[in-house]
Every structure is written in structure tokens, then in C-alpha cells.
Amino acid sequence: MDGRNQGREGPSWPSASPPGAGPAAERGWGERGWGNGPPPGEPVWPAPAQPPGQQPEPQPGPQPGYQPSGRPPPWQVPQPTGGAGPETLGPNTRCYLHPDRLAGAVCRSCGNPICSDCMVEAPVGWHCTRCVKRSSRKSPVVRYRPGTGGLPRMRQAPVTLTIIAVCVVLYLASTSDPTLLDQAAEWGVGIQQGQWWRLFTAIFFHVDILHITLDMVALLVIGRLVEPVLGPWRYLALFLVSGLGGSVAAYLLSPPIQPEVGASGAIFGLFGAYFVLARRAATDTTGILVLIAINLAFSFSVAGIAWQAHIGGLVTGVVVSAGLGLGRRRRHQVEIVADVAVVAFACLALGLLMTLPPGVANLNL
């Protein structure tokens, strides 16, 4: 064996060639390159001579399971799906986003080398930050689903926190100026005279500290569960339409001269929406059903509670949330148009009910 040629041409195997095979056979497996022939322990013998007119038998191809020195054979090297990055990493391969840093992995999406600051863990391998941002714009990830366990973070429910802040500020303002409560309460006679804003303003006002505490705690619990699923704009539309449904029910089913305030109708709408979302996710709905039953029992058993608004908000929330997302399997624009149509249809139906006189079906117990 010549030690001067070993590093350039690979190891030689004297015993791997038959007598008289020539110098090319003595060099054997190493010169043909990694993986292009059988491993060193298997000698290469010349094929026997074929009779005239007979085609030689096809030789077996490379063995896919053989990987010398831990390197995959050329036919198993994964090809990048895009970009111009290298297929493998070398000792001096640089990150394509940070040329001054060494790369530690290859992005599974674009095939470019990335450093540790650009690595985003994926189900298989790593993705670069640029591919992750591009994918998030195409298909945003829902970070919470009913029944997945745990609670979303408070920063995922900005609309809920904003509504709570507005209700607290208006409550403090109404304690210093009681006339605000009279001007904002749901009052059938005033609404019939054209004061339609009472249908919405009554949602954000409360009578006393116990009233606002119970409503805001319930809103915080159920709102942080529903808002991350629907998104801020759908969630806000659901809250307002459910509150409107509660006000319309109180307008029709309560005495015309009885003023009512509170966000409980909209909160019951969120209860109904969570039930619909849980059913859509094929998860257990026993907990939310028990919660709704307890609150309804409390509404009917305690005097001074507008149970009519609770029923109206619950029914409206179930109907609207069942319609939201019907176009989610189509294009994004179609989904938006479908959701807007659902909200508009609910508002139109409630507006038609407002053509009836107040207290037309007085069910006050």
C-alpha cells in the first residue's frame, strides 16, 4: 500500500481483486467515490464473459442502506424546496440572513442555511424566521381551541379587557352622576319614542358594585376563552349583537316602564358561543351546560334580575356563533363576506322584532 496516495484516492484493498485484475481493480472501491459500489469487505470480480448475441445481466444498483462515515449516499441527499441554499452544511457555511454567523441547520422550507437566532422549531427539523412569517400570513395559527386544556394569555383577549375597562369607567361616572344611568338604561317607553341608543348603552352600565363585579368576573372568564378562537372583530360583533338580542328580549318581554341595565345578556351570548365552538371542536360540553343551567336558575330564583335579557342574549349568541365561520374552508374574502352576512341577518331580524310595541308579551314573573 502506498501511503502517499491513500489520502487522495482513498484506501486500497489488496485482497479485494482477483489475480491479474490489473491496477484499476487494485485501487478498487475507494476511487469510484462514496457509495458507488459495494463496501470494502465485498470484493469486485470481473463479470464472466457472455456468449455472442446474449445481453449481459443488469448489475444491482447501489445499496440505499449503506452510509459510510455517517454521510448519506448522493441519491438520498434531500433537495431544497426553494431558495439557493446549500444542500449540506460545511465548517464555514454562513447563515443566509446573518452572513457574519455560522449556520447550524438548514431550513426545511426554503433549504437555506440558518444560524441559531433564525431557527424556529417545526414538527420536522427547523424553519427560518422568514418562512415562518410568510406562512403565518397565509394561514394564521389558532393558539387555543376549546377542550385543549389551559387558559389563553390575557394579551390574547384585548377586546375583553377593553370592554371591562369601559364598563368600570362608566360605572364610576354613573356613581358621581346618577342621571347617566337614567339616560342609558333600556326603557321600553323611551325606545318606542325614538331613543334607540338605549338598546346598546344599557349593555355597559351597572347598578351597584355587586352587579358590576359579578358581570365583569364572568366576562373575564368566558371572554378570554372565546375571543382567541373568533378573533377580535368577530368577537366584538358577537358581543354587541348578543347584547342587542338581550335588550330586544327585555323590550318585548318586560313591562314597558321597567328600566334595565347590565352586560349579562351579552355574557350569556358568549356562553352560548362557547357551547357552539366546543361542539364544533368535538370536545366535552358538560361544563358549559352546567354553567348555563346554574346561571339561569339564579336568574329565575332571585328577584330584580332581568332573566328576559339573559334568554335573549343566549339565543342570539348561539345563532350568531353557529353562523360565524361557515365559509372558513373557502377563500379569505368569502369567509369575511359570509360572517358579515350572518351578523347583518341577525341585526335585521332583531330590527324587525323592534317594530312590535314594548311589552307585547309581558312575561315578568
Give the lowest-confidence range in 105-114, 135-144, 148-157: 135-144
Note the pLDDT tens digit of each residue in 10-60: 444 444 444 554 444 444 444 444 445 555 555 555 555 555 655 555 555
C-alpha cell at 302: 332571585
pLDDT of residue 75: 45
DSSP letters spanning 286-349: HHHHHHHHHHHHHHHHSTT--HHHHHHHHHHHHHHHHHTTTTTTS-HHHHHHHHHHHHHHHHHH
pLDDT of residue 296: 92
Active-site residue among 264, 301, 321, 332? 264
Q: Is the pLDDT of residue 215 over 70?
A: yes
User: Per-residue confidence at 344, pLDDT binned at 50, 70, 90?
Assistant: very high
Give the lowest-confidence range in 51-65, 71-85, 213-227, 283-297: 71-85
Give the lowest-confidence range in 33-42, 92-101, 270-279, 305-314: 33-42
Domains and CATH numbers, the chain: 81-134 (no CATH), 158-353 (1.20.1540.10)
- Give the residue with greater pLDDT, 21 vs 164: 164
Burial of 271 (0-12, 13-18, 19+ CB in 10 A): buried
The fraction of the chain above a pLDDT of 90, given in percent, is 33
Which residues, including other chains, have CB under 8 Å from residue 30's CB and lie 6 or more apart?
Answer: 9, 10, 11, 12, 13, 40
The fraction of the chain above a pLDDT of 70, given in percent, is 68
pLDDT of residue 131: 87
User: Dihedral angle at the C-alpha atoms of 17, 19, 23, 28, nearest 10 degrees?
Assistant: 0
Ranked by mean pLDDT, the top range of 88-97, 100-109, 205-214 is 205-214
Segment 148-177 shows an average pLDDT of 85
- Give the residue with greater pLDDT, 280 vs 28: 280
Per the annotation, the verdict on 116 as an active-site residue is no
Give the lowest-confidence range in 24-28, 56-60, 196-200, 226-230: 24-28
Chain mean position to CA 214: 30
170 contacts 205 by C-beta, under 8 angstroms: yes
Strand, coil or helix: what is 105? strand
Q: Is the pLDDT of residue 266 over 90?
A: yes
Active-site residue among 109, 211, 310, 321? 310
Per the annotation, the verdict on 310 as an active-site residue is yes
Note the pLDDT tens digit of each residue in 116-143: 888 888 777 888 988 888 776 554 434 4
